[in-house]
Chains A and B, each alone.
Chain A
Amino acid sequence: MAEPVISVDGLVKNYRAGVRRSIVHAVRGLSLTVPRGSIVAFVGPNGAGKTTTIHTLLGFIKPTAGQVRVFGEAPGPAVARQIGYQPEIFYTYPFYSAREALRYYGQLAGLSSAALNAAIPGLLDRMGLTDAGKRPISSYSKGMAQRLGLAQSLIHDPELLILDEPTSGLDPEGRRLVLDIIVEEKARGRTVFLSSHILSDVERTCDEVVMVRQGQVVLADRIASFGAAGQQWDIEVLGWTPAHRGLLRDGITVLQETDGAAILRCDAGDKQALLKLLLAVPLEIGTVQPMRAASLEETYLKHAGVV
């Protein structure tokens, strides 16, 4: 397994809030790893602890308990050079133009003037902001500002991209552009940690997903495992009575049974034999379909407690 770029182990973050200074448990023992060269989605409902976790990775917040490692080190300015961060809303100085903003953030990241002169035009072109490069940012639309936010996270060519809702507020064209850039960065060997509510974006771009709820990881899995056809089949049988149960071999289960109909589940290897058996009875066959794993959205809604 590739060395993890991000490693969070048992992260706990408690705040005191309100007049009574009561404790808020923002994160409760969260653990996750982000392998090098992968795109890992970080999803969960509002208030699940995503931003707190991201801010801990950036060193803005100190953990109450647990360990956070980025490139094997504690978060902070020492590792920040290898991180590109795009906040959910790109907050910057309205008096700058895009070129000036990129120059400022690039200089803060330690880039020389020559390197910035070479990088800025290409980056503006990649984000579709060349024509607006000299305009004050105060005149930008939300989508333009978001794309500029992504540009500033890429200005120093970081190893790790932490993107918080990068497609929020973008039109379909801008959204596609940003997702394409994320995939391109992965192809260049970069690691991406992507927080998003747009599950179709996650399914399209990510390798893995980490789902959080109430400050805890409720699911961590590969994206490919959601909605994929499995090794089992569901067969709808009409004219079914409970007496027909005696016909079934081991490994065949009755999923649903109503008067006159049933849904049977069997392994792919048993499908042909079961169909022959049912037709020989004779029973009428309704639908025959491979069993699909729950989609990412179904799984998300289930874990979010919606369904």
Chain B
Amino acid sequence: MKPVLLIAKNAFRAVMSERALYMWGFAVVVMFLRSGPALFAQNRSPEMMRFLRANAVSGSLDLWSYMCLAAAIYLGAHSLATELRTKTIITVLSHPVRRWQMMVGKWTGVCAFCFVTLAIGVVLGYGLARYLGVNIEEGVLAISATRTIAGIILFAGITTALSATGSAPVAIAIAAFVAVVPQLIQPLREDSSPTYQRIGAALDVVVAPGYSSNYGGVVWAPFPVPANYRGPRPAMVFERPSVDYDRQRKQAAETAAYAGVYFLLGCVGFTRRDLKFS
């Protein structure tokens, strides 16, 4: 385990040396802008202010979670690809380090950075909620963060495994594909064409469950509807989002399990292939 932890520490430090503090600073600015309506709104009704404040906190946390996932994809895709490109992997693997240990170390380091980033977002979310005088539903936040953690594990795993091919863009493209495909599975399975149904069924087995955010329910307030409003009333705006905790936990576990399988396949491929350097 020692080489894995050393490489994870090295990967974390490599990310920090690439001006990660600026990235966090940028994320804080984005969070601030997302909360702008609640922070600067004046002369609004109490119902509207309640809605804006709830929306500011839940929306900021939601945005932050997506930034964590994007970071997992980007950093994972560059983890081993950069090592191969800069040939730093040569010196590491000339020591008694197995290739899978290097991969697991990189994955762990990238995940650790994203977890720290998520934790910073949660702390900032609490700070924002306190400033705006709203209460966070801790159960919903916990399950939402769990799903984000599972998503980080999945996307960092896929991209780290694929970055062993040496191509970060390919790793990012396939991770994006894995992120999008779950949205297509249900329509394919319900299609009248047996071929599409079979494709849908196959994708359902091969592709990890999609990421779904529950941050909308962390702080919630109904949208204040004017008395004369006659338009559509979408549930996501007018009804408090319900969270099926068991289903969410199951999906998070499934996501992590898929991450493990994808990563294992990547490890096998990386261990078996020649490392050629030009």
Contacts and interface: CB of A to CB of B under 8 A. Distances in A.
Contacts of A83: 94
Given A104-B10, A107-B6, A108-B92, A15 B17 contact: no
Given A87-B91, A90-B91, A95 B274 contact: no
Contact of B87 (A77, A87, A105, A156): A87
Given A58-B93, A61-B275, A110-B96, A91 B14 contact: no
B14 A93 contact: yes
Interface string A218-243: 00000000000000000000000000
Contact of B94 (A15, A58, A94, A110): A58
Contacts of B97: 77, 80, 108
A264 interface: no
Q: Interface residues of A toward B: which range?
A: 20 to 34
Contacts of B2: 107, 110
Given A62-B274, A104-B10, A108-B6, A80 B96 contact: yes
A38 to B, nearest CB: 21
A78 B96 CA distance: 7
A139 to B, nearest CB: 14
Contacts of A15: 274, 276
B3 interface: yes
A55 interface: yes
A119 B110 CA distance: 31
Interface in A77-115: 77-78, 80-81, 83, 85, 87, 89-95, 104-105, 107-110
Contacts of A59: 93
A77 B276 contact: no
B192 interface: no
Contact of B274 (A60, A89, A149): A60
Contacts of A216: none
Interface string B92-110: 1111111000000000000
Contacts of A80: 94-97
B90 A60 contact: yes
Contacts of A60: 90, 93, 274-275
B94 A61 contact: no
Q: Interface size bucket, B side?
A: 20 to 34
Contacts of B276: 15, 61
B43 interface: no
B278 to A, nearest CB: 10
B135 interface: no
A77 B94 contact: no
B233 interface: no
A152 interface: yes
A58 B92 CA distance: 11
Interface in A133-170: 149, 152-153, 156
Interface in B79-94: 86-88, 90-94
A130 B17 CA distance: 24
Contacts of A149: 91
A92 B96 contact: no
B96 A108 contact: yes
Contacts of A92: 88, 91
Residue of A55, A92, A94, A108 ringed by the most chain B CB atoms within 10 A:
A108
Contact of B6 (A89, A104, A156): A104
Contacts of B275: 55, 60-61
B13 interface: yes
B98 A77 contact: yes
A109 B91 contact: no
Most buried by B among A59, A77, A78: A77
A151 to B, nearest CB: 12
Nearest to B85: A91
A93 B10 contact: yes
B6 A77 contact: no
A153 B95 CA distance: 9
Contacts of B96: 77-78, 80-81, 108-110
A94 B92 CA distance: 14
Contacts of B88: 91-93
Nearest to A90: B91
A190 to B, nearest CB: 16
Interface string B260-276: 00000000000000111
Interface string A36-79: 00000000000000000001001111100000000000000110
B13 A108 contact: no
Contact of A91 (B13, B90, B274): B90
Contacts of B93: 58-60
Contacts of A104: 6, 10
A109 B17 contact: no
A61 B274 contact: yes
Q: Which 3 residue pairs of A and B lie closest in terms of their CB atoms, listed nearest first?
A: A85-B94, A95-B17, A91-B87
Interface of A: 15, 55, 58-62, 77-78, 80-81, 83, 85, 87, 89-95, 104-105, 107-110, 149, 152-153, 156
20 contacts: A15-B274, A15-B276, A55-B277, A58-B94, A60-B93, A60-B275, A61-B275, A61-B276, A77-B96, A78-B96, A81-B96, A87-B94, A90-B91, A93-B14, A95-B17, A108-B3, A108-B97, A109-B95, A149-B91, A156-B95
